[in-house]
Amino acid sequence: MENQSTVNEFILLAFSDTRELQILHFLLFLSIYLVAFMGNILIILTIAHDHNLHSPMYFFLVNLSLVDACYVSVTVPKSMAISLTNDRRISFSGCVSQVLLVFTFASAEVFFLTVMAYDRYVAICLPLHYMRIMNWNACLQFAAASWISAIVYAIVETMSTFRLNFCSSHVQQFFCDVPQLWRISCTDTMLNECLVLAVVITAGICCLSLILISYGYIFSTVFKINSSQGRRKVFSTCTPHLTVVSLFLSTAVFSYFRPQALSSTSVDLLSTVLYTVLPPVTNPIIYSLRNKDIHQAAWKMSSKLFRFHRVVSYTFVKNCKGFQ
């Protein structure tokens, strides 16, 4: 790329220059990262372990949890390393990789949330045709289409961003965020902004419309159910997904499309943390607390692991006593 000869590395924004606050930031982000990463991995392991959860709904949830685990791993560890070592540099190739991966996982999150809304629509509004429509072949095609679309869009957006010439190497964000890269560019970014706007208008609005239409049919069907227990069961299934959709879209829209008057370094930093860190942290919490099937499956898996640990410990102690 032509600008690689002028800018070989970028300088990311640190949360603080005070050593005590840097350590505090490291510990805080470490706790957040462990909660997000381990929570999503726990959901994946729980669904894989329990054969009762091997259904299209939980297949897409596994993909969503995988996206979240990878999403939070792209930005947070680097920010922790900056606070720990006070080295704010990131290589040109490292910045390219961050942009590519952030766009990939953010786009995949939107696509999988859309597919999950359609899955809930078919399950609730067309229950007799559910297994015919959402068969495993269709699920694999939906998943493949989501991943491929996300990767293609990420490649196009990354290539569009790094065709620019950069006048400065200081990125006013804790990772290589595209709007901040635009600000330090010497090249006109109108084409880049139009590309993002075109994607938001086409893919973004289409996904949001499909989600809203799906839930419109779902709610109209729910209100026709005479049984209060049946309505509660439907709401308990849909509420986690609807909460996750609202959280992710609201934080992303605020981060990228808020008025210029609300833009400042501190606001930019806070809004970016909200849309890159908050969804991966809260998604496993929302699904584990609101979904009884996952809650029960996780409890069963934990009980089996605890019993296995007790058996191993008892055998080890018994063998040690016999050896003595």
Half-sphere exposure of 97 (CA within 13 A, CB side): 11
CB 40 within 8 A of CB 198: no
Helix H, strand E, coil C: the string for 220-235 is HHHCCCCCHHHHHHHH
DSSP symbols for 19-86: HHHHHHHHHHHHHHHHHHHHHHHHHHHHHHH-GGG-SHHHHHHHHHHHHHHHHHHHHHHHHHHHHHH-
Share of the chain above pLDDT 70, in %: 84
Query: Among the listed ranges 79-93, 105-119, 177-191, 232-246, which one has the minimum average pLDDT value?
Result: 232-246
Query: H or E element: which one contains 90?
Result: strand 89-91
Give the model's pLDDT for residue 71: 94
The tokens for 288 are 């584990």
Count helices and strands (H / E) in the chain. Answer: 12, 2
Higher pLDDT among residues 283 and 132, named by residue: 132
Tell me, what's the pLDDT at 304?
A: 64
48 pLDDT higher than 90: no
Q: How far apart are CA 176 and CA 14, in angstroms?
A: 12
Collapse the DSSP code of 128 into the 3-class scheme (helix H, G, I; strand E, B; otherwise coil) and give the result.
Answer: helix
pLDDT(151) > 70? yes
The reported pLDDT for the residue numbered 275 is 79
Mean pLDDT of the chain: 83
Q: Give the residue with greater pLDDT, 79 vs 250.
A: 79
Amino acid at 30: L
Dihedral angle at the C-alpha atoms of 219, 225, 229, 232, nearest 10 degrees?
0
How much is the pLDDT for 260?
A: 66
Question: Could you tell me which residue, 162 or 316, shows the higher pLDDT?
Answer: 162
Q: What is the pLDDT of residue 305?
A: 60
Report helix, strand or coil for 186.
coil
- pLDDT-based confidence at 37, cuts 50/70/90? very high
| pLDDT score of 143 | 96
Q: How many CB atoms lie within 10 A of CB 36?
A: 25
2-290 to CATH, choices 1.10.3210.10, 3.40.30.20, 1.20.1070.10, 3.40.50.10420: 1.20.1070.10
Q: Per-residue pLDDT for 111 more than 60? A: yes
Provide the pLDDT for residue 2. Answer: 44
Give the tens place of pLDDT for each residue, 251-310. Answer: 777 776 666 666 677 777 777 888 788 888 888 887 766 666 676 666 776 666 655 445
Q: Is the pLDDT score of 109 beyond 80?
A: yes
What b-and-e string marks burial along 141-175, b requiring 16 or more CB atoms within 10 Å of the CB?
Answer: ebbeebbeebeebbeebbebbbebebeebebbbbb
Question: What pTM does this model have?
Answer: 0.85
The contacts of residue 286 (CB under 8 Å, 6+ apart) are 240, 243, 244
> So what's the pLDDT on residue 322?
53
Residue 112 has pLDDT above 90, yes or no: yes
The per-residue pLDDT for 312 is: 44
Res 316: pLDDT: 43
Residue 184 pLDDT > 70, yes or no? yes
Domain ranges of the chain: 2-290, 291-324
Q: How many residues does the chain have?
A: 324
Read off the pLDDT of each residue in 230-244 and give the average, rounded to a whole number: 74
CA angle 165, 190, 208 (to 5 degrees): 120
CB-based contacts of 69: which residues, under 8 Å, 6+ apart?
36, 37, 40, 41, 44, 280
Query: Mean pLDDT lowest for which of 144-148, 157-161, 200-204?
Result: 200-204
- Around Cβ 105, how many Cβ atoms within 10 Å? 23
Alpha-carbon distances of 223 from 216, 219, 226, rounded to whole Å: 11, 6, 8
Question: Which range has the worst mean pLDDT, 13-22, 75-84, 256-265?
Answer: 256-265
